[in-house]
Amino acid sequence: MARISLCCWHNVKIMASTLFCLSLAVLPLSLLFYFWVFIFISGSSPKGKEYDKFIMNMCSSSDFAFFKTLLSWGYFKRSFKNCCRHWRLTFFPVQFAKLGEKAPDAKLIDMAGNVKYLADYIKQSSSIPLILNMGSYT
Amino acid sequence: MMLDIYYNYCNPIGCNGSPAVARFLTIYIEEAHARDEWWLPESPEAFAGGKACILNHKTMEERITTARKFQEDFAFPCELVCDSFNEDVNDRYGAWPERLYIIQDGVVVYQGGHGPFDYKLAEVKDWLSERYGLRGDIMTRR
């Protein structure tokens, strides 16, 4: 009897619509998941023992800080931004700094709001090494 | 460690009687843990030094203002400039969240890893001390 009912057109329609709805739900969820994990796979791609230790500590903390961070809207926004940058640079590549190669130029803004170029700083320091320290307040 | 490098190798007015052998340029890029983005409220540093109040920059003026605030809060002595709002430095140097480079004669001679885990000022100091001799005290390595 069960076989007969499965073959019934009505059941096929139900199954098809269920599958369709499931795929509709799964696709955006997969996409969300992709953005969420992106920061770890290509955003900053940290590796090494210190990073492993950090992740282990976060995962084992009793206040679920790691998971709370992962589920925050801010984390999603950051991951999404990194994801967009990654694909933008994949499709529209720019000269990227590589060890042993010419340092790429970049537009900078000084504290007075004037436009400067990294090439000028490199030219000014000529024979002495120029240490570039890149970062932010947070 | 950063100030140790700056005062011993890069201070333009002299490094304890010796001339500066390198130039130290800090480039302020977009925030790593802005209050309205990937904020880390559980981090012990989140409330220190006004970090909790830093919002993501919406305009170039905001970025400059935050950079100035950073300069003032930490009495930061080094030369500081900002990345443009097109994120030129970030795109070309993979700078986010923090990174170190050394450029000599227009060529990248040292490329540090991505921070915070591979941001190693000790490697920069080692690079400098190998070429110009060890200056200053040996500080805690990061």
* DSSP secondary structure of chain B: -HHHHIIIII-TT-BTTBPP-SEEEEEE-S-SS-TTSS--TTSTTTTGGGGGGPPPP-SHHHHHHHHHHHHHHTT--SEEEEE-TT-HHHHHH--SS-EEEEEETTEEEEE---TTTT--HHHHHHHHHHHH---S------
Whether the per-residue pLDDT at A130 is higher than 90: the answer is yes
pLDDT value at position B48?
Answer: 55
Q: For residue A89, list chain B residues with Cβ-Cβ distance below 8 A.
A: 91
**Omega cis (within 30) before B116:** yes
Calculate mean pLDDT across residues B24-29.
93
Nearest Cα neighbor of A95 from B94, B105, B15 is B94
Please answer yes or no on whether B92 and A94 come within 8 Å at the CB atom: yes
Calculate mean pLDDT across residues B50-57.
70
Reported confidence tier of residue B133, pLDDT bands at 50, 70, 90: confident
Please answer yes or no on whether A102 and B107 come within 8 Å at the CB atom: yes
AA letter at B31: E
Gap between the Cα atoms of A132 and A127, Å rounded:
15
Tokens representing B131 are 């070429």
Top-confidence residue, B113 or A35: B113
Whether the per-residue pLDDT at B140 is higher than 50: the answer is no
Reported confidence tier of residue B109, pLDDT bands at 50, 70, 90: very high
Reported confidence tier of residue B92, pLDDT bands at 50, 70, 90: very high
Please answer yes or no on whether B82 and A110 come within 8 Å at the CB atom: yes
Whether the per-residue pLDDT at B44 is higher than 70: the answer is no
> Percentage of residues in chain A with pLDDT exceeding 70?
60
By C-alpha distance, the chain B residue nearest A74 is B37
pLDDT value at position A30?
Answer: 72
Calculate mean pLDDT across residues B1-26.
83
Instruction: Closest CB to A133: pick one of B33, B69, B100.
Output: B100
Reported confidence tier of residue B103, pLDDT bands at 50, 70, 90: very high
Whether the per-residue pLDDT at A112 is higher than 90: the answer is yes
CB count within 10 Å of CB A32 equals: 13
Please answer yes or no on whether A74 and B37 come within 8 Å at the CB atom: yes
Gap between the Cα atoms of A68 and A73, Å rounded:
10
Question: How high does pLDDT run on average in chain A?
Answer: 77
CB count within 10 Å of CB A105 equals: 16
**How far does Cα A1 stand from its chain's mean position?**
52
Reported confidence tier of residue B26, pLDDT bands at 50, 70, 90: very high
Please answer yes or no on whether B78 and A45 come within 8 Å at the CB atom: no
Gap between the Cα atoms of A136 and A80, Å rounded:
19
By C-alpha distance, the chain B residue nearest A122 is B106
Asked if A103 and B108 touch (Cβ cutoff 8 Å), the reply is yes
Calculate mean pLDDT across residues A9-27.
70
Provide the number of CB pairs (under 8 Å) joining chain A to chain B. Answer: 216
Please answer yes or no on whether A78 and B37 come within 8 Å at the CB atom: yes
Q: For residue B5, list chain A residues with Cβ-Cβ distance below 8 A.
A: 131
What is the DSSP-derived secondary structure letter of residue A105? P
